[in-house]
Every structure is written in C-alpha cells, then in structure tokens.
Amino acid sequence: MSTLGRVTSSSTPGPAPDQASPVPADALVVRTVALDLDQAQSLLALVPAERPVTWLRRGDGLVGWGVAAEVRTHGATRFADAGKWWSELIARAAVHDEVVEPGTGLVSFGTFAFADEPGDSILVVPRVVVGRRGDVAWLTTVGEPADEPIVPAEPASAPAEVSFADGALNGEQWMSVVADAVARISAGDLEKVVLARDLIATANGPIDVRAPLGRLAETYPMCWTFHVDGMFGATPEMLVRRERGLVTSRVLAGTIRRTGDDERDLALAATLARSSKDLEEHEYAVRSVADALEPHCSSMNVPEAPFVLHLPNVMHLASDVAGVVHDAATVSSLQLAEALHPSAAVGGTPTAVATALITEIEGMDRDRYAGPVGWMDASGDGEWGIALRSARVEGSTVRLFAGCGIVADSDPEAELAESQAKFVPVRDALTTG
C-alpha cells in the first residue's frame, strides 16, 4: 500500500508470461485468451460475491471479480490523479492479449464522485474479467492464471424484507427546494438546474448486490447495468464512449412517466417531443456536451432534433452526439469523461452557477450519484456512463438517488412525481422476488 497526496493505491504483481522480452520484477502480468461463446452466455451468472464489477447491456459487456490493483482519489484532481495512476500501471504491465478488442488486455473499472468534495472515487483492476462482444468472448486474468474453469458462481439470494424511508428531505421539503430553484431561474440567475433527492432502503440482512443487478439487467436491457465498489444501477445515459478514435455521447434530458398503456404512451411520447419545457431542457444538455467535446474532437455531428427513448418506466428525449478524437494517443476516454462532467443533464446551465446552487439548496451529499461510471482499457478506449437510476449499497443499507431537470416552467409536484418514477428501477430490483 502506498500513499501519494490524497491518492491511495495498491497492486499485486504476478509471474511473468512466456515471452522473449524480459519482464520487470514488479510487472503486473495480464493475459487475455479467447473463450467459447457458450462459456459466456450469461456473464452475470459467472460473478461471485467477492468484489464484483459489472458493465452490461443486452447481454454483452464486461464482468469481473477480485482486486489486482486499485486507487482511490479525492477532490478536484480526482480524475487527473486516477489517470496518472493508470498510466503508471500500464507502463509496468506485461500484457499477452490473444483477442485484441476494446475491453481486452489490462482493463480498469471506475466510479467517480459527482462533486470535488466530499466523496471518494475509485479505479479498480479486477483479478479476473470475462467479456463478450457479439460473437467474441474472452477471459482476462491478472497475476496467476485462473486454475479453475469459468463456471457459474453460487447464485445470489435476495433479502426477505426491505423497508424504505425518506433521505435528506421528504417530498414536501424537496418540492420547496424545486420552487426556490424555479424562482431563481425566473429571476434570470440561471437557465436550468438539476436537483436530486435520496431514499434510504434498509434490508433485514446484508444485500448481495448481484441480486438487484440481475433484475436490472433483465428489466432494462437497453440500459447499461453497472456495479463498481458498491455503486450500482442501470443507466440510460452514455456520458462518453471512445472506440478506436470515434467518440459518442448519448444525451438524455426531458422525461415523461409511462402509464403501461401502449396507446396512451405513444400519445405521451408525441407530447414529450413537442413540449417546449422539455425541448428547452434538452437543448441545454446537448449544447453543454457539444461544447465540452469540441476542443478534443473533429467532424462533430450534433443532431438538430432529439428522438424519444422508450424505457419500461419512463420516456426521455435523447440525442447522440458524435465526433472523432484529435489524438487518441493522448486523450483517453477518462479524460473525455472529465471534460464532459458535469453536463447540463446532471448539473445545469450555466454549469458553475448551477452546481453552486445545487450545493446551496439541494440539502444532501450526492456521493457518486450522477458521476461518471464505467471502464477503460490500456489504449484509452472505454465507456463511461452517468450513474443514474442508481444507488450505493453498504451492508444492509442502500441509498437510492433520483434527479430532475428544473427550468422556468417546472412544476414542483410534477417534478416530485418524475423523481418517484426514477426511483422505480432500483426500488423494484431490491424488492422483486
């Protein structure tokens, strides 16, 4: 264990692979080999309870377990400190990669605090990673190769009883905060602010996070189901993906709750697509993403109008912004995530004014809620989502989060209803047998 400033890291080197070039004594030895697809049909079923990490969408993605190396960072330099640690780890890694796809070789998973203070952030390299991408599957081990075959782990058990209570603010108090924000927007102090609230779930025993992860992956296959260091959820929003130089970001802003009636929901989708309030909120979010990516990218493609993304519980206005990174050798996906965070979709517009207002009136610590979460490989490719529809689990307690974009036309009661809809994915995942 070593400490450098406010960065704490640890790693365990392994033996050298068979190769001609000499390997430093302290090298982190990484091996990636191909797997038969039938060994990776259900990635989540392979994950044991020991420090699991997951990043899944529609059956594809990455899962891992154990800890080969990790770093915890804090404060305004949390992204830069994590990036420096990662670069140093790559420099002393001996990698044998038979697959050579994004997500093979040396891979880290991360979850970052929303604000500079308080809260910690983490990058972790699992001892074992299993990945699948279409018709390609692989196994990565760090240190000793896996002696046992990759087989399903012991299944997770769900808690028998879960109770819920208000977090920092109850509904009435939170609506007062929303009304305060609307008044400030109407006065011209800012254009938009995103306000969040929390809900506390308490189980009758320690929660095995694999149980709610399985339900989230099954119910929300179009979202990215994630877990890193206690932070878990199913996010619909891709902050940034970098793959072989191509950069994409999915922006969600503007929400309406589904009714469960298909005909009614189609009418609501049309209403959402015409809503001046929601279109205004969405425009702010898209503009903030495009402005943040522009210094790093060329050939930017910014859609003129959003589409409606249909999820089981809500519908969102969505836009996919794309570009080509200027220099893939020097601009990693984590650096792009730092440049984008916080976007207007989770902070507001103007960013500095909105985040200051969040600190002033929101009344709670966001921890890692709405911060970047995802993975990165040694080439800098990776996927970083926004930790939405999310919660943090510690023992038998789970803290759920939900947020809403507030603009001049926002109605506090409607925003409270929207926040309750956004609690549904994790709440149901904790209580559904």
Minimum mean pLDDT among 18-32, 224-238, 314-328: which range?
Answer: 18-32
pLDDT in tens, 199-238: 999 999 999 999 999 999 999 999 999 999 999 999 999 9
Catalytic residue among 192, 283, 362, 418: 192
Query: Whole-number mean pLDDT of the chain?
Result: 91
> With contact defined as beta carbons under 8 Å apart, do 98 and 34 qualify?
yes
Nearest to 129 by CA among 101, 87, 156, 90: 101
Catalytic residue among 237, 281, 415, 418: 237
How many CB atoms are closer than 10 A to CB 72? Answer: 19
Query: pTM (2 decimals)?
Result: 0.91
> With contact defined as beta carbons under 8 Å apart, do 424 and 401 qualify?
no
Distances in whole angstroms, Cα of residue 169 to Cα of each of 149, 178, 421? 49, 12, 17
Average pLDDT over residues 305-332: 91
Across 106-120, b (16+ Cβ under 10 Å) vs e yields bbbbbbbbbbeeebb
Residues 6+ apart with CB under 8 A from 426: 212, 216, 232, 233, 234, 389, 390, 391, 398, 400
Catalytic annotation on 422?
no
Show me where the domains of the chain are located: 2-142, 162-431
How far is it, in rounded angstroms, from Cα 231 to Cα 211? 14
At residue 142, does pLDDT exceed 90? yes
Catalytic annotation on 277?
no
CATH 3.60.120.10, domain 162-431, yes or no: yes
At residue 91, does pLDDT exceed 50? yes
Q: Radius of gyration over alpha carbons of the chain, in Å? A: 21
How far is it, in rounded angstroms, from Cα 234 to Cα 61? 13
pLDDT in tens, 367-415: 999 999 999 999 999 999 999 999 999 999 999 999 999 999 999 999 9
Minimum mean pLDDT among 169-178, 314-323, 325-334: which range?
Answer: 325-334
Q: What percent of the chain has pLDDT over 90?
A: 79
How many CB atoms are closer than 10 A to CB 151? Answer: 8
Average pLDDT over residues 327-339: 91
∠ Cα 299 60 44 (to 5°)? 145
Average pLDDT over residues 51-78: 97
